[in-house]
Structure 1
Amino acid sequence: MKCFVKYIGIIDNQDKVHYVPFYPGLNVITGKSSTGKSAILEIFDYCMGSSEDTIPVGVITDRSKIFFAALQFSSFILVIGRNAGTNRCFLREVPSSQADSLIALIESVRAFFDDRHYVPLADFIKGLGRYFGVTLENVDVNPFQKELTGKKSETPSIRSFPSFMLQHQNLVANKHAIFYRFDQKHKRDQAIDHFKILMGIVDESYFDLAKEHFDAKQELRRIQLQIPKQEMVKTNTLALFSNCLAEYLALAGAPLVELTPEEIWQKPKPALRKVMERSSRIDGLSTEFEKKRNELLDAKAALLIKLRAAQADLRLAKTSIDSASGFGLTMTSLPIPSASALEESTICPFCDSPAHAPENEANKLSDAIHWLNTELKLSSYARESFGEERRVIEKEIRDIERQLKEVQNALNPLEEEITRLKLSKNVDESAQRAKFRLEEAIKVRIEKPSSDLMDSEAYWKARVKALADEMAEFKVKSELNKLQDEINDKMREIGQNFDFEDAYKPVDLRFDLESFDLWHQKDKDTKVYLRSMGSGANWLYSHLTLFMSLHYQFAARSGDGCKIPPILFLDQPTQVYFPAALDAGKTFVPEKLAVQANRQDKLEHDIEAVTNMFNRIANFCTDTFQQTGIMPQMIVCDHADNLELEEGLEFSDFVRATWRTRGFIAEVEQV
């Protein structure tokens, strides 16, 4: 995104305009403590739609009524503002042709900050987001997200930008935190999740595909869950068809129709016509009835034998478990001596010769105790073994009982038929009843046809794959890996120029885009995370190295859909060498600060390190412009001043404001 900050300013209660101009590249605001340097970051954040007003309480908040910032785009200037202590936000576009007269326009406060350009905070954030191409309304892949949680997932907005643009005084050299407001877990997770969107790797069409892909997977899953149920219905229906046909054959002595149960299932309507058209014919000479009945009786007898054997095995298993448990309890209840005192030798009272009988008995007792302990252990193993055997037998019994029930159900109509024949002598009635039951079963099949789930499953599998292939064209994973590699390569390049401790040289900082963790890769197997690196200078340079590398990517990818402008605010980066709280003089005197910080023996090194830092930042901006065509904007608020930079660089050329005799706005209005 080609954009830079042109002005940051304040309208005080007397409608006087206080502002600081900025340009692409390095910008420095220098001054002593408590002059409003840190307020620059907070004013910018507040104007960018922060939900919190974190502008330091003091002269600025007491005397200000409007805060504003001017953002320079390629063909226009966007002035954003916000009234003090409110959610009334200002958004006005000004043509670039009026850039030179912008401050004059703003000084006509009532005319410029007209009520027509004010909008509520939520609308302001959306409106500002459009200028940066952040327009996604919904990134929920799961269409039930709102129903489940009561709200949509957070969408990317310009409120994602400050994490990458602001390095506050308490953050720029922090060993525990790297990004602004990442102490709030949901903001951290959102920033990580939204990063691929803000970098232009994915867009709204990707999320449309992702939603379709989710829906297709859900439909496929629904069908796959139905398939086993449908298979069970089919199995049960085929069994019913088979029983009715077999019963009719046994009762009538001839088959009802020349159709198999599978053929009836596949074409139920033609099958029903054939069954209904077929009249019942009883073959009195047929032996099918007795044959079928005897088969069922034999099957029942065989199953009963198996059942009785399994029940006997179950009784044995339960008895074995009880025996093993009882043995363990009996053995543990026996009194066992804990010790026995034996004399070194025992003399026989008859012959006065040494006797070893007590010692031998003691050895036998020791062996018995070892045996007992072994048996007690084995009893627990035996219980486990018998327990598994019992479960297997119980399952076998359940299976046999199920088979017995099926055989008995098939046998019941034949036994009932014998009773009916003895009473009514009517053979046709039973066969007609079997035929009628088959007709009813076929009608149920027709009335409740099973859907062709196999075809549906094949369709949705193909649909899921097709959508996944379309999503794969975005190459999200490979693009993120590529971006991560480029960030890490740039960090290695930038880090070599900073004054890291020798223990971390050569510098090999790594950044993980999945977790946003930062570490130094000491060797192949050792990661040294920021919190373990030690020394404020190492923490500072790690932050600078990472953020300069990120902003290089923001510049390099600005033409490829990157939404984040390469604008970085650094607040008091030199504090690790010259603590800002100690600087209250009218000029920057590092010698005095070194004495106050008890670092006078390191003064020369500290000045060199601070000078080198500004050299690296200035050169980074120039090099990035040469390589990408975009000049990053680095706004440094610090108390360092009058540094002697390398040849070709003048520190004063980068200074946009010096606040030592007064601050951003004067404490007392001059008359």
Structure 2
Amino acid sequence: MSFQILDIVLYSKKGESRVVQLQPGALNIITGASKTGKTALIEIIDYCLGSSECYIPEGIIRRSTSWVGLRLLVDKGEVFVARRVPKPGVKTSFEIYYDVQTKIDIPSLNQLKTTTNLQTLELLLSKHVGIGENIHEPPEGQTRKSLQANIRHALFFNFQQQSEIISNKHLFHKQSEEWIPQAIRDVLPFFLGAVDEDYIRKMDKLRQLKGNLRLLERKQMEFEAVRGSVLTKAHLLLSESQNLGLFPVSDLPQTWDECVTALREIRQESVNPDKEVLIEDDEFERLQQERAHLIEDYKLLKTELEAAKSLDTDRSSYAIESKEQVARLSTIGLFQGNDENLVVCPVCQSELKNDALPNVSQLRSALSK
């Protein structure tokens, strides 16, 4: 399946149209003076066939046209596709006119309106040229997305600009642009017929199986996570059983099945609670008495510690108060600390006859204790 271009139509902003007719099934050569728009014809065709941007060069065509269109000959009739030329400074337009009939007359400018979108246009044109469902999956380990061949990829093998014809480095259309060489390598087997419908069905089946595998692997990981949590709980139960003498003191089982077997054996063992209590009664009573003694010792030590803290606080308070009183008496001359043998009353200056009174040295010694 394929289609051929019957007409290239340019609509002026005044509503006039210019039609370039082509002969289907024959070689068509378009000639004309330089800078009259011959090179722009490829960009007009590319734009009408679903280009995401308008690359019609700036010039008389870009300035004077409002819409551009193609009339195509397809297997079951004719198709007319037209797109609005974007305004200056705008890269593209999403106003797209599409019509398919057995025989189509070129519509006038006032008949053009939006009837489809860019994605649908690509699908419709791909269907007209016989591009069915296909997919290219990148090799394992590569992060680029899968690629489906469509009408846009087919143009790599149909167009050639003047600079591409004379190039000794590039063979295909737009091969010099970024990412295009990889896209050409991905879709070339499909357009050469190396990828048939049976291969596509098998690849689709393989993708489904890989998806199911990833789902099962994810479920397995979740199961292993839950199983690990349950295994930890089983180890806790077995450790408690060891403390109670229900399970021998040894290394705990490391596998889930072994843990389940051990817990089942413990459950099947008969245990006499009264016997266990009688056996452990003496030891329990001893531990209770030891606990009571330890509590009494703790209370006694706590009381002594509080008393020591209280005494230390009183001592500090007395020392501070004594220093303050000494300082006050010294400022008014009532307390002279230089004469250690002073026996005179500091208030009335009378001689103290009682030799038993402590002297200053003795007072200082008492205060410092």
Q: Shorter-chain-normalised TM-score: which range? A: 0.5 to 0.7
What's the CA shift for 1:38?
1.7
Q: 1:250 to 1:188 in 2, by over 3 A?
A: closer
Deviation at 1:265, TM superposition (A): 0.6
Give me the whole-angstrom Cα distance separating, in 1, the residues matched to 2:64 and 2:247. Answer: 106
Counterparts of 1:250 and 1:229, CA distance in 2:
25
Task: Find the counterpart in structure 2 of residue 109 from structure 1.
Answer: 108
1:279 positional shift: 1.6
Q: How does 1:386-405 map to 2 (within 5 A)?
A: none
Tell me the percent identity.
Answer: 19
AA aligned to 1:163 is: F
Matched, 1:83 2:84: yes
- Partner in structure 2 of residue 274 of structure 1: 268
Q: Does 1:6 align with 2:3?
A: no
The Cα of 1:11 is off from its aligned counterpart by 3.6
Counterpart AA for 1:210: R
* Structure 2 residues without counterparts, runs of 5 or longer: 87-92, 249-255, 290-369
Q: Which has the higher helix share?
A: 1
1:399 aligns with none
Distance (Å, rounded) in 2 between the aligned partners of 1:61 and 1:232: 70
Partner of 2:163: 170
Superposed, which structure 2 residues align to 1:116-265 within 5 Å? 118-132=115-129, 156-195=149-188, 201=196, 203=200, 206-207=203-204, 209-220=206-217, 223=220, 227=224, 230=227, 234=231, 237=234, 241=238, 244-245=241-242, 248=245, 265=260
- Give secondary structure in 2 for the equivalent of 1:51: coil
**TM-score normalised per structure 1:** 0.32
Taking the aligned partners of 2:258 and 2:39, their CA distance within structure 1 comes to 85
Deviations 1:95-120 (A, max 9, x none): 1xx4xxx5xx32x625xx72466434
* 1:649 matched residue in structure 2: none
Structure 1 match to 2:23: 22
Q: Structure 1 residue 423: deviation in Å?
A: 4.0
SS state at 1:167 partner: coil
Give the CA deviation at 1:159. 2.5
Q: Structure 1 residues 229 and 109 mapped into 2: Cα distance closer, same or farther (>3 Å)?
A: closer
Alpha-carbon deviation of 1:24?
A: 2.6
Question: Which has the higher relative contact order, 1 or 2, with Cα contacts under 8 A spaced 6 or more apart?
Answer: 1
**What aligned pairs does 1:452-531 form with structure 2 within 5 A after superposition?**
none
Deviations 1:462-486 (A, max 9, x none): xxxxxxxxxxxxxxxxxxxxxxxxx
**C-alpha displacement of 1:219:** 2.7
**Cα deviations by residue, 1:262-284 (Å, 9 ceiling, x for unpaired):** 6761495x656534x5324869x
Deviations 1:278-327 (A, max 9, x none): 324869xx9xxxxxxxxxxxxxxxxxxxxxxxxxxxxxxxxxxxxxxxxx
Q: CA–CA distance in 1 between the matches of 2:221 and 2:85? A: 59
Change beyond 3 A, Cα 1:174–1:250: closer
Distance 1:193 1:214, change over 3 A: farther
SS in 2 for 1:92: strand
Q: Distance in 2 between matches of 1:48 and 1:250?
A: 79
Determine if contact 1:238/1:265 at 8 Å carries over to the other structure. Answer: no
SS in 1 for 2:68: strand
Determine helix, strand or coil for the equivalent of 1:181.
coil
- Cα deviation for residue 228 of structure 1 reads 8.1
TM-score by length of 2: 0.54
Q: Which amino acid aligns with 2:97?
A: F
Q: Is the 8 A contact 1:197 1:203 kept in 2?
A: no
8 Å CA contact retained: 1:140, 1:211: no
Name the SS for the 1:6 alignment partner.
strand
Pairwise CA distance, 1:16: 3.7
CA distance in 1, matches of 2:260, 2:116: 68
Alignment root-mean-square deviation, CA: 4.7
Matches within 5 A, 1:366-381: none
> 1:158 is matched by which residue type in structure 2?
I
Give the CA deviation at 1:73: 1.7
Cα gap change, 1:238/1:48 in structure 2, threshold over 3 Å: closer, same or farther?
Answer: same
CA contact (8 A) 2:95 2:117 kept: yes
